[in-house]
Structure 1
Amino acid sequence: MQQDWRAENADADHISVGGVGAHPRFHEAKAMLIDGLAGLYLGDRRLRGLIEYERGVSFMLIVSLDAMHDPESRESGVSMQVLNEVLPKMGIAPGRRIADLVANLRRDDLLDSLPAPHDRRVRLLRASPRAILADSEWIAVFHAPLTVLRPEVDYRPALNRDRAYQRAFRLSGLRTLAIANEIMSANPPMDYFVQEAVGFRLLMILMQSVRGGAGNRTAPGFYSHAAEQGGVSRTYVKNVLKGAAERGFVALSARPGDYVEIRPVLHEAFDRWVAESLSSIDRVRVQAEFP
């Protein structure tokens, strides 16, 4: 990883972190990203969990490594051994936790398990057609805001779910895994929400709900709205937000359910995450070997 990946670079072909944050249409791009992530996979219960950190990272890593698959190479392929070597670098515990994540992905028809051609005792994980489609949707959601920030750049391969671009993008992304991990781990408010089950989606719903409102507050009934959209209980939503309030990220009304107020520290952290994420996506696009 380059140590100065956040630094300004006037000669870069991708938009810098500062360039995203200072862009006159930043808030429009941010709203587009929030809406895309809040609604991502909502129509399919088995895919909803891909927006959660551990499941999503495991899934995208397997899709990325699977893009390197060469049936003629003995070293090629995604095995449990490979995952236990790589995923801990992304903050996911090896062993049982990774085995459970893989089992759940297989249960939801996102992974196929096949014997290795050179050693049938070894099982290789392959992304299913369903997984490829789900991943292309994720890529489109993260590229869409860039069309607002850089209308002169052709992002249609990502938006049109071009399979060749998807493969090139995922192969390129393998070189920036450390950056992807740092974006979250170095941002405590964002890290809190992504570590909570369904917390990332709840955060997107929260950001949607305060948009255009006075005082960065939701309207009454947010707990019920977020519970319905997130597929969890109202009590669970309340508990996640209570934890966020204890950390100073949000403020809750004295009478439960009247409003949730986003504190400046969360707003600043969220805007930084948006800027770093979109800059990183554009960087990976530039480095991808795609016509």
Structure 2
Amino acid sequence: MLQGGGMEMLGRVPVTVEEVADHPDYLRARKLYCDSFLALFDRNPFLIRLLTDSSRYLLFTLSVILNANHDGDRRETWFSVGRLKQQMAAFGMTSPRHVDHLIERMQAVGFVEISHAPRDRRVKLLRLTDRMLAHDREWMATDYIILDTLCPRNGYAGVRNRDPAVHAAIRRQSLALLPEGARLLCEQTDFLLFFSRPGGLMVLEALFEAALSSPDGRECPFVFGDVAHRFGLSRSHVRGVMQDAEAARFIRLHGRGGRAVEILPRLWRSDAIGHGVGARLRDIAFLRASAELAPQPCAPAEPADRVWVKQA
């Protein structure tokens, strides 16, 4: 796991996975996250399409990180189509044509603009619009809810308040964490069942919403047709995801048509560990961003009796 580096200068080290996953108030924080996540995307076909599959999710996240690190005077930092494809490949998305299609889709909905590099017209540069950046600030505020709830002493107000400077600094600092993020994503194999399917993340959050709202957190109502209509999916697709989850022993279905579902201990634990891993990476990015934004001490002024004036 990543080390905190020189973050002790800010008075603390990053949170641990266990500090989040085993926190006595984790389920309350998890429900707050779930409610915020679904409020952000619920019944909004335009935004739901951002999460229809893992490649779109990754393209969105990588784009905001590369956009924040773009420096026109340093070619190696350029947010270009080629660099985005390289980062996507690191996460296993190796089809350049598919990436081109996703970029075209983002351009069509007004999230990204494309231009040629002024000194090399062979290079296509990307720039995110204010619309996409505003949405990412909302998304980031949701992503930090669990940390903000369980560790309020750590001061995530800038994220909660959608501060553009804090948002940009966190995205800049997230670049160095991408290799670790790719490795940890590959290790979260339980979530690949949902993450690799169109709309799988929406189905997963709806499942936890139902469980966390039930009296005992166990068997809860979950009608395939209702979930499908809510997120613009087919009923057969939702049923297939849930049947695969049952075969993997993540859940147990009760009644015809999935009228009720029970989340089994394996999925509860995998979910807690997954959010713990994500929280740790986000906290490291936050600490590094805080160091970046911290006022730099000014050099002391030279005492008046030490100032020498050259004589004519």
TM-score by length of 1: 0.90
What SS is found at the alignment partner of 1:123? strand
Residue 34 (str. 1) matches residue 37 (str. 2): no
Q: Aligned residues, how many?
A: 285
In the alignment, the residues of structure 1 paired with residue 205 and residue 60 of structure 2 have an alpha-carbon distance, to the nearest angstrom, of 20
C-alpha deviation, 1:120, in angstroms: 2.5
Deviation string 1:205-258 (CA, Å, 9 cap, x unpaired) is 000111234472222x52123113222122221111112122222222252232
C-alpha deviation, 1:141, in angstroms: 0.3
Residue 14 (str. 1) matches residue 17 (str. 2): no
Q: Which position in structure 2 is the counterpart of 1:290?
A: 293
Q: Choose 106-115 or 222-231, whichever is displaced more.
A: 222-231
Check the 8 A contact 2:116/2:124 in 1, yes or no: yes
Q: Please, what is the CA RMSD of the aligned residues?
A: 2.1
Task: Decide whether aligned partners of structure 1 residues 226 and 183 sit closer, same or farther in structure 2, where only a CA change above 3 A counts.
Answer: farther
Equivalent positions of 1:102-251 (< 5 A) are: 102-211=103-212, 212-214=214-216, 216-219=218-221, 222-251=223-252
What SS is found at the alignment partner of 2:165? helix
In the alignment, the residues of structure 1 paired with residue 28 and residue 184 of structure 2 have an alpha-carbon distance, to the nearest angstrom, of 21
Deviation string 1:145-169 (CA, Å, 9 cap, x unpaired) is 2222112222111111111111110
Task: Determine what percentage of the aligned residue pairs are the same residue.
Answer: 26
C-alpha deviation, 1:270, in angstroms: 0.8
Check the 8 A contact 2:43/2:230 in 1, yes or no: no
Unaligned runs of 5+ in 1: none
What SS is found at the alignment partner of 1:256? helix
Task: Decide whether aligned partners of structure 1 residues 290 and 53 sit closer, same or farther in structure 2, where only a CA change above 3 A counts.
Answer: farther
Unaligned runs of 5+ in 2: 295-312
Q: Which position in structure 2 is the counterpart of 1:25?
A: 25
Task: Decide whether aligned partners of structure 1 residues 281 and 230 sit closer, same or farther in structure 2, where only a CA change above 3 A counts.
Answer: same
Q: Which position in structure 2 is the counterpart of 1:47?
A: 47
The one-letter code of the counterpart of 1:262 is: I
The one-letter code of the counterpart of 1:39 is: A
Task: Decide whether aligned partners of structure 1 residues 180 and 40 sit closer, same or farther in structure 2, where only a CA change above 3 A counts.
Answer: farther
Deviation string 1:112-133 (CA, Å, 9 cap, x unpaired) is 1012121233221111111101
Q: Choose 193-202 or 243-252, whichever is displaced more.
A: 243-252
C-alpha deviation, 1:74, in angstroms: 3.6
Task: Decide whether aligned partners of structure 1 residues 187 and 75 sit closer, same or farther in structure 2, where only a CA change above 3 A counts.
Answer: closer
Task: Decide whether aligned partners of structure 1 residues 74 and 178 sit closer, same or farther in structure 2, where only a CA change above 3 A counts.
Answer: closer
What SS is found at the alignment partner of 1:113? strand
In the alignment, the residues of structure 1 paired with residue 253 and residue 22 of structure 2 have an alpha-carbon distance, to the nearest angstrom, of 30
C-alpha deviation, 1:269, in angstroms: 0.7
In the alignment, the residues of structure 2 paired with residue 130 and residue 193 of structure 1 have an alpha-carbon distance, to the nearest angstrom, of 28
C-alpha deviation, 1:12, in angstroms: 4.7
C-alpha deviation, 1:13, in angstroms: 2.4
C-alpha deviation, 1:179, in angstroms: 2.7
C-alpha deviation, 1:260, in angstroms: 1.9
Task: Decide whether aligned partners of structure 1 residues 145 and 254 sit closer, same or farther in structure 2, where only a CA change above 3 A counts.
Answer: closer
Deviation string 1:35-74 (CA, Å, 9 cap, x unpaired) is 2222323364322233342212111211111112223334
Deviation string 1:64-96 (CA, Å, 9 cap, x unpaired) is 111122233344422221122221111212311
Off by >4 Å, runs of 4+ in structure 1: none
What SS is found at the alignment partner of 2:256? coil
Task: Decide whether aligned partners of structure 1 residues 107 and 284 sit closer, same or farther in structure 2, where only a CA change above 3 A counts.
Answer: same
